[in-house]
Amino acid sequence: MKNIKFILIFLFLQGVCLAQNESAKLKTKDYIFLSLNYHQGTIMPTNPFVKGENETGLPIDKYRGASFKLGWQNPGYTQWQKVYHAPYYGIGFWTGDFNSRELGNPMALYGFLGIPLFRLKWMELYADLQFGTAWHWRYYDSITNPNNIAIGGSMTVYIDVGLNAFVPLSKRLDLGAGLTFSHFSNGGFERPNRGLNIYSPSIELKYHLRGRPETNGLPKAEKETKTHDLYLMLGYGDHQLNEHELDTNYFAVGGISAFYQLRHSNAWRSGLGVDMNYWWGLNANPDGTPGPRNLENLTFGLIYQPELIIGDLSLVLGIGMYARNYRYGNWNQFYQRLGVNYRIYNNLTFGVNIRAVNFMLAEFLEFNLGYRLKWERD
């Protein structure tokens, strides 16, 4: 079950590398680049372990990391490249040092996407998104590593969001600088899972193997038909309870969701939805063992869900409110959904989301199948 987390990066890589495959069919020149990136940042004090409840008794607040990237930046060969005005995209490998024996030296494989915000003759500014999976952690163990409540399993999700500016140094070499926010968590799949949150400045050297693409006078994207969408989704996940994070009891969560969304443009859609889930662990006993199976396990939520569309890939960010929840009460708790889904055949999609509350406390990983019905807007 742990290896299923590789699906996260598989979905993202499918999307960000889609244009590479399409470009090959068009027999066009691919503009490939290699880059080295270095981060040196600060770990946010979001849990007792990094605040000082560790073997040293001192805060774990320093971080440094390095990435190697292989990417492409083609000048609008495909529809989605036209929509995002020649973005860069590709795959990367990261390794980090948290200056802590209890965390180790993890590594990550990820897909990345850089969307241009503006271009000047002497500088380009991009919004940079990275999504993947990290491994090789020293994670929680009740005997050998009992303080580490930040990372509870051997693998985590890796999410990085930032701004990167690039200045050309020569015909093929760029110097970049940026500011990023990074998050590591396993979505409550294996607790303890308080996660790590990091902000860091970065520097990057980028080498264009075949020169830079011409970004002046990029072709315009064909306008997509604006539609009404009805999106139906089945979701499932396993998790441990946060209040019993040191137990070994796992509970299932299964549910259905329905969304009414509008396709606003080539790049995004949004709409309102309802989530209904049955949580086997919602009314667990005080010792963490399963409780009775009844309507207390049923939750109902209302959610607003925007989606960024990148070819067959969608990046999902939803913000909802629990209208019914045995644990939180009714209309007392916001929740969030962050993830990806990929159109695998016609209108059928597969995806993985992180469900969370308070924007940092993961509830569970939500693996899902969806089907989208569409009709044109007047």
What is the three-class DSSP state of 7?
A: helix
Question: Is 13 a residue whose pLDDT tops 60?
Answer: no
pLDDT bracket for residue 2 (50, 70, 90): very low
Single out the residue of 5, 20, 123 nearest to residue 70, CA to CA. 20
pLDDT of 19 reads 44
Q: Confidence band (pLDDT; 50, 70, 90) for 18?
A: low
* CB-facing half-sphere around the CA of 86: CA atoms within 13 A: 20
Q: Of 160, 158, 159, 156, whose CA–CA distance to 186 is shortest?
A: 156
Dist. CA 128–CA 71, nearest whole Å: 13
The pLDDT value given to residue 207: 98
Averaged confidence pLDDT in the chain: 89
Q: Looking at the predicted structure, is the pLDDT value of residue 188 above 90?
A: no
Amino acid 3: pLDDT: 44
- Span 72-118, pLDDT tens digits: 999 888 889 999 999 999 999 999 999 999 999 999 999 999 999 99
**What integer pLDDT is reported at residue 290 of this predicted model?**
85
pLDDT at 20 exceeding the cut of 70: no
More confident residue, 291 or 188: 291
The overall longest dimension of the chain from CA atoms, in Å, is 68
Average pLDDT over residues 329-347: 94
Residue 12: pLDDT band (50, 70, 90) is: low
In the chain, pLDDT over 90 holds for what percent of residues?
A: 70
Strands 88-97 and 107-119: antiparallel
pTM: 0.85
Burial (Cβ within 10 Å: 0-12, 13-18, ≥19) of residue 171: exposed
**Which uninterrupted H or E stretch holds 159?**
strand 156-168
**What local confidence, expressed as pLDDT, does residue 367 receive?**
94
Q: At what angle do helices 6-16 and 18-25 cross, to 10 degrees?
A: 40
Looking at the predicted structure, is the pLDDT value of residue 23 above 70? no
